[in-house]
Amino acid sequence: MTGFARTEGATDVCTWGWEAKSVNGKGLDVRLRYPRGFDFIDVPTRERVAKRFKRGNVSLNLDINWTKPQASVTLNEEVLELILTAIPKIQDAVPDVAPPSVDGILALRGVLEQNDEDFSDDEVKALEGALLDGLEQLLEQLAEGRDAEGARMGGVLHDQLATIETLSEEAGELAATQPDAIRQRLADQIAALADDMNGIDPDRLAQEAAIVMTKADVREELDRLSAHIAAARDLLGQDEPVGRRLDFLCQEFNREANTLCSKSSDTDLTRVGLELKAVIEQFREQVQNIE
C-alpha cells in the first residue's frame, strides 16, 4: 500500500518534523532515519509501526532543528597564559620568525574548549513525549491514506472477481457439451478404423471412452473456483488485514485454471481457461498491494 504523511511540532529546545512514505511490499520492511543521539527513538518507533501495519515498505525520517544552543565555547585562560609567556622566548631563539596572529593562537589545541549543553531531565522527557505523540499522529495519517487507497482497490478486486465468476459460468456451459463431443469424436475415430478393429472387444472400447471422458471432466475444478470466489469476497468484506490470505487464494485460483486448460479438449473451453488465467493474474497483482 502506498501513502505519505507528515507531522510537525516544537518543544522548548527544538522544532521537529516526522515524515513517512509507504510503498507496496509482500512483507513489512521499516526503514528509519534520525539525527545522531536519537537512538532512543528507534525501538519504540519500530514497535508502533509493526503494531499498525503488516505489509509494505515504510520509510520514516525525523528532522530536528535546535532552538536552544547544543554547545558553548569557553576560553582556557591558563593555557592561553602559558602560550603568551612562551612566545617571547621563541622570538628570542628565532628572531626571523613572523609574530603569531590571534587566529593562530586561538587555533592551538586547548585554547578554546567546546562544552556540550546539558538538557534538563524535564526537557529530555518533554522532547521524547512530543516525538512519540507526533509519531502516533503520523502513523494515523499514513493509515488513513492507505485505507483510502485500499477502498479504491477493493472496488477493482470485486470487479475482477465478477469477471472470474462470469468466465467460470461460461466454462461450465462449455464443459457440459464436452461428453457428447468426446463421444462423437471417439465414434468417428472408431468408424474410421472399423476395418482394422474386427477383433476388438466393444466393452473395452466403452471402458476407454469412459476413461477419456472422466479425464476431461472439469466440473470439480469449476466447483472449486466457485468456492474460491465466495471465499475471496468474504475476505474482502472483513475489516482486518487479509492480503496474505488473498495471496494464498490466488495460488488456488491459478491451480484450478491451469487444470481446466490441461483437461480441455475444446478450443472454446481452452480460450475461456486462458482468459481466466489472465484475469486471475491481474487479481493477484492487485492483491500484492493490499494490507
Q: Tell me the per-residue pLDDT of 175-188, one tens digit each, with 9 for 90 and over.
A: 766 666 666 666 56
For 151-174, write each residue's pLDDT tens digit: 778 888 888 899 999 988 888 887
122 vs 279 pLDDT, higher one: 279
Q: In this structure, which topology does domain 3-68+120-141 adopt according to CATH?
A: Ribosomal Protein S5; domain 2 (3.30.230)
pLDDT tens readout for residues 3-53: 889 999 988 888 999 999 988 777 788 999 998 888 888 999 999 999 988
Closest CA to 282 of 110, 183, 156, 107: 156
pLDDT, position 278? 92
Going from the C-alpha of 71 to that of each of 99, 113, 117, 277, the distances in angstroms are 32, 10, 5, 65
Could you tell me the strand order of the sheet in which 14-23 lies?
3-10, 14-23, 56-66, 28-33
Tell me 11's DSSP state.
-
Q: What is the mean pLDDT of residues 104-122?
A: 70
pLDDT band for 130, please (50, 70, 90 cuts): very high
Q: What are the two backbone dihedrals, phi and then psi, of residue 30, each rounded to the nearest 5 degrees? A: -105, 125
Phi and psi (nearest 5°) for 18? -100, 140
Torsion of CA 281, 53, 46, 7, to 10 degrees: 110
pLDDT reported for residue 216: 61
Q: By C-alpha distance, which of 252, 259, 250, 253 is closest to 285?
A: 250
CATH 3.40.50 assigned to 146-287 = no
Q: Are strands 3-10 and 14-23 parallel, antiparallel or unpaired?
A: antiparallel
Asked, colleague to colleague, whether 3-68+120-141 and 146-287 share their fold, the answer is no
DSSP strand E in 12-163: where? 14-23, 28-33, 56-66, 71-75, 112-116
Q: What is the pLDDT of residues 47-86, one digit of tens each?
A: 999 998 888 889 999 998 888 665 556 778 888 888 888 8
Cα 272–277–278 angle (5° rounding)? Answer: 95
Q: What share of the chain is helix, strand, coil (3-state, %, to 5)?
A: 65, 15, 20
Domains of the chain by residue range: 3-68+120-141, 71-116, 146-287
> DSSP letter at 290?
-
